Amino acid sequence: MNVEWDGSAAGPRCVVAVVGPTATGKSDLALDLAKALSGQVPAEIVNADAYQLYRGMDVGTAKVPVAERRGVAHHQLDVLDPIEDASVARYQSAARRDLDDIAGRGARAVVVGGSGLYVRALLDHLDFPGTDPRVRARLEDRAEAEGSRALYDELLERDPAAAGSIGPRNTRRLVRALEVIAITGRPYTANLPRQEYVRPAVQIGLDCDRQVLDARVAHRVERMWEGGLEQEVRSLASPEQGGVGAGLGATAARAVGYAELLAAWHGELTADEAREAIVANTRRLARKQMGWFGRDPRVRWLDAGSPTLLDDALALVRAADAGSLPEPAAEPVRRSLGS
């Protein structure tokens, strides 16, 4: 169906965000929306997938090839080298500039991605306190000498909500929480994102039956394998730079599909085991993503397999522009993957 935006809605053109688990078709819907919405004003896409920020990580992240982007401008793709560590704060600054520039051109922004924290950082009020190397070093030394339980006990006393969320075993997050408290003089939870948009926005979530999504994941991994995932990871790992993994930084090397193949090349998995692990870990990622977005009552969920998906999404955008979206439920609706 060739659907075009009729431009009849009054009010500001809100930012449209397409969110949800991997393999539900977010990129396709974002492109469909961008083309349909361009009937009134141009629409441009802003990536909110942490790993699609990386140059060369194309097959393993299901990045839409340039030739298939239908002439729609894309932002926040291929902006980092794989050796660099990604930063949510840096992404927030750069992507918000993109939103400002898009609005300045009189265009519409369509955000798409499954990295929940990146979506929240872009759309919501979320501050990122700085770091203090001396404070962090002191806390890391304490963790090494006293164990993470000592840091947990201190956090439990100073910010019980943060301690309950982090738990006693996540040393990295315990260090960061206590560092933020030391720097700001406020509880760590005071710096967590508020469910409050910094500009008008509507989040459209793609829901999918668990069995259907599991099959989609398996098919996606098969396509990636046939599309050269092994060769891509080997090229990025750059043996010329000193061995497998030398060309991938700590962040990029953790990506599903890349981590498993690196483990195989280090002799920790066979090739078949690596492939099976990619499927299993992608399914696990999808459930984690659904858990994240499912806790946000502002997400308007649509069936990823619906034949009227685009029309339904356009209706949500029209209502959001007109300020007529119904208020979100007091409690978020648990979606199929969250059950």
Which residues are documented as binding site for substrate?
22-27
> Tell me, what's the pLDDT at 11?
42
Report percent pLDDT > 90 for the chain. Answer: 80
In a domain, 316, yes or no: yes
DSSP summary character for residue 308: T
Q: What pLDDT was estimated at residue 160?
A: 95
Better-predicted residue by pLDDT, 190 or 75: 75
List residues forming the annotated binding site. Answer: 20-27
Given 162, 191, 220, the domain boundary residue is 191
Q: Which residues are annotated as a binding site for ATP?
A: 20-27
Q: What is the rounded average pLDDT for all residues in the chain?
A: 90
Q: How many CA atoms lie within 13 A of 59 on its CB side?
A: 18
Q: Are residues 143 and 114 in the same domain?
A: no
What is the model's pLDDT at position 165?
Answer: 87
- Residue 250 — pLDDT band, cuts 50, 70, 90? confident
Identify whether 222 is part of a domain: no
Phi, psi of 55 (to 5 degrees): -65, 135
Sorting pLDDT into bands at 50, 70 and 90, what band is 286?
A: very high
Given 191, 222, 239, which residue is the final one in a domain? 191
The string of DSSP codes covering 102-143 is HHHTT-EEEEE-S-HHHHHHHHB--------HHHHHHHHHHH
Domains identified in the chain, total number: 2
Query: What pLDDT score does 189 carry?
Result: 84
Question: Is the domain of 39 the same as that of 162?
Answer: no
State the amino acid at position 143 in one-letter form.
Answer: A
How close are the terminal C-alpha atoms of the chain, in Å? 33
203 and 66, same structural domain? yes
In this predicted structure, the answer to whether residue 338 has a pLDDT above a threshold of 60 is no
* 94/147 same-domain check: no
Q: Which of 236-245, 247-256, 302-311 has the lowest mean pLDDT?
A: 236-245
Structural domain span for residue 328: 15-125+199-210+297-338
Average pLDDT value for residue range 108-136? 93
pLDDT band of residue 192 (cuts 50, 70, 90) is confident
- % pLDDT > 70, the chain: 90
Contact residues for 275 (Cβ-Cβ < 8 A; gap 6+)? 221, 225, 260
Residue 256 lies in a domain: no
The whole-angstrom separation of Cα 60 and Cα 212 is 21
Per-residue confidence band for 246, with pLDDT thresholds at 50, 70 and 90: low
Residue 43, pLDDT above cutoff 80: yes
Residue pair 279/217 in contact (Cβ under 8 Å)? The answer is yes
Q: Does 119 share its domain with 61?
A: yes
- Asked if residue 331 has pLDDT above 90, the reply is no
